Structure 1
């Protein structure tokens, strides 16, 4: 009887949090769209406001009543499942046939390299410089390497949502950006795994090489074996009346979770398994459209805001109490922006991309938001960064994402693609 009561209390606590999170995210997302920003920006800010930066600070009793710690684990699990679904949807959503053109594939290589190498080096130097002041009790090299990874990351899911809202998912520039972001993030996760191993005094070059080799092997298996299976499944259970059959949906869901387990075992975390599996279906536009209607909207409205709130509950912007704190924060933001936009733009130009599209790529690769928040939460949990630096990096993630929409509109207009309003998403 006692176990039943405890279960009921857990369910009620979880449901209460879901009510507040979904409602707050939807309201903030609507407001963000009115201000010309993507929904993701409003949802991130809603998460911050529900945490100690506002609700927890001014109404601590109310915050404690809503966000009961007993529901923390199920909420975290729900947020991770939502991220896996979102990544699968992004994999389905993009037309990678543009990459058959040599100039596009070359641009992806140049942009990905620039977006990884320069920000990582800039972050390591910055981290080494600020470590004695902001993280004196943490291993200086581990801290510096983590800052390098944090500045390297590009938010693949958030960029995907922005591209959808601007109708760029099947545009050449959108495909180049998302492809480079995918390479960027996979590399970032491998680097993060190495930093985490170093911080735990368990780094092994052999292990890292095996990890990379395992990822390559998984991608080859999915390409040569997974794609024919996906094609067969859609012939066996074709899309009818714009809907995915229940049998096909069950098989796809199981495949998504299996791919997530595979990438987690390789040390690149579960969400990239969802993305890799989504790539198997990107040639089947009817399936992608049906997935968005049946599953995609639910993921965006229900699952994703949970993660943003989870991050907000760990972020206390009011903890930056002095002008010195904010000066360090502004320095981090400035280095993060310059180390992404400038080298990516120059690399795109070197690959033969015209100036307007090159600047668009620079702006898009500067988007950090979701993936950055995932990395930062891991860094905080592993003890590689202190809470104050965590907050500064969250501010950086928000700022780099907020600036994306206005800069993107400017770049699109220069490229002859004026955008009057955001598409519904």
Structure 2
């Protein structure tokens, strides 16, 4: 949660280009093409070898592997120190288009889940609360951030009272998101995007939480996720009960490879058609194909709540 808030604060929204047709195509096709190819492979074998439960689980895997999360791409570009370059801006814009698609799909899934658990009226109220929160961030919280900057004398540091108040608000938005039925990551990330990047406010917040996020909490999260992985499962190609081929494992590995290759090719062809040099097109495709902590969180949630995740694809 804090890591997504941290990424949101470090993201400079002003460098994002207005979505030109080429950039929009990269973002949209970069999701749709691998998703359709993955589903085509799944449908060609699902009725013969897989159970309904396995088909629904593979549907979730295809959706997660096809997305290009904005926080992951932004973090990758920042680590490579090319966030403000032309290539970085194109990648950031394309990932923002992809993220809008991801948010729309995730919202529909969440609302469907809430309708089953809380009823249609409560589901609509939760969706309305999410919309009101976004409007609150845009029209009240973000202007308040600029007001804080104006209250800070030039060359001075932002008051710790403001910083701690914002961090407290971050924790509250995470809790509120969870209580309203959304992922706890939703509120903090939106709030982080509302904070102007750089000095004095953005820099002060990043300085306060950088050590805790990057050197304590995030490594612990990655370690706990890796501790739950049994690599020996990748070597099990047959069912232990009757010795038959484990078609679910085979299908999973094939689909993952198809999605990765399709996404790479799709994100490379469109820039080439728009006149981008080969080297830049390949680099952009690799950036758009990168995976990170968002996928790790998503698969961790799939593991922790298989029943809920699988019900999304009914």
TM superposition score category, shorter chain reference: 0.7 to 0.9
- Aligned partner (choices 105, 108, 118) of residue 33 of structure 2: 118
Does 1:92 pair with 2:6? no
- Aligned partner (choices 123, 135, 150) of residue 64 of structure 2: 150
Structure 1 residues 234 and 274: CA distance shift in structure 2, 3 A: same
- Aligned partner (choices 255, 258, 263) of residue 335 of structure 1: 258
Q: How far does the alpha carbon of each residue in 1:39-90 deviate from its partner, in whole angstroms, 9 at most, with x for none?
A: xxxxxxxxxxxxxxxxxxxxxxxxxxxxxxxxxxxxxxxxxxxxx2222222
8 Å CA contact retained: 1:154, 1:185 = yes
- Aligned partner (choices 287, 290, 293) of residue 207 of structure 2: 293
Matches of 2:64 and 2:232, distance apart in 1? 22
8 Å CA contact retained: 1:154, 1:372 = no
Q: How many residues align?
A: 299
Does 1:138 pair with 2:53? yes
Any residues of structure 2 matched to 1:397-412 within 5 Å, and which?
none
Alignment-derived partner of residue 369 in structure 1: 292
Question: Secondary structure of the equivalent of 2:64?
Answer: helix
Matches of 2:277 and 2:219, distance apart in 1? 37
8 Å CA contact retained: 1:123, 1:150 = no
Superposition deviation, residue 119 in structure 1:
2.4
Superposition deviation, residue 108 in structure 1:
4.0
Structure 1 residues 258 and 335: CA distance shift in structure 2, 3 A: same
Question: Secondary structure of the equivalent of 1:270?
Answer: coil
Structure 1 residues 256 and 385: CA distance shift in structure 2, 3 A: closer
Matches of 2:127 and 2:281, distance apart in 1? 30
8 Å CA contact retained: 2:114, 2:120 = no
Alignment-derived partner of residue 220 in structure 2: 306
Alignment-derived partner of residue 202 in structure 1: 116
Superposition deviation, residue 316 in structure 1:
1.1
Any residues of structure 2 matched to 1:229-268 within 5 Å, and which?
229-237=144-152, 243-264=157-178, 267-268=181-182
Q: How far does the alpha carbon of each residue in 1:333-367 deviate from its partner, in whole angstroms, 9 at most, with x for none?
A: 31121221112223344566554433322111111
- Greater RCO, CA 8 A, separation 6+: 2
Matches of 2:267 and 2:39, distance apart in 1? 18
Matches of 1:119 and 1:212, distance apart in 2? 29
8 Å CA contact retained: 1:125, 1:144 = no
Question: Secondary structure of the equivalent of 1:202?
Answer: helix
Matches of 1:225 and 1:205, distance apart in 2? 29
Q: How far does the alpha carbon of each residue in 1:155-208 deviate from its partner, in whole angstroms, 9 at most, with x for none?
A: 544433332222112223223323433443454355356557778993999998
List alignment gaps of at least 5 residues for structure 2: 238-244, 310-314
Structure 1 residues 190 and 145: CA distance shift in structure 2, 3 A: farther
Matches of 1:337 and 1:286, distance apart in 2? 40
Matches of 2:185 and 2:103, distance apart in 1? 11
List alignment gaps of at least 5 residues for structure 1: 1-83, 387-425
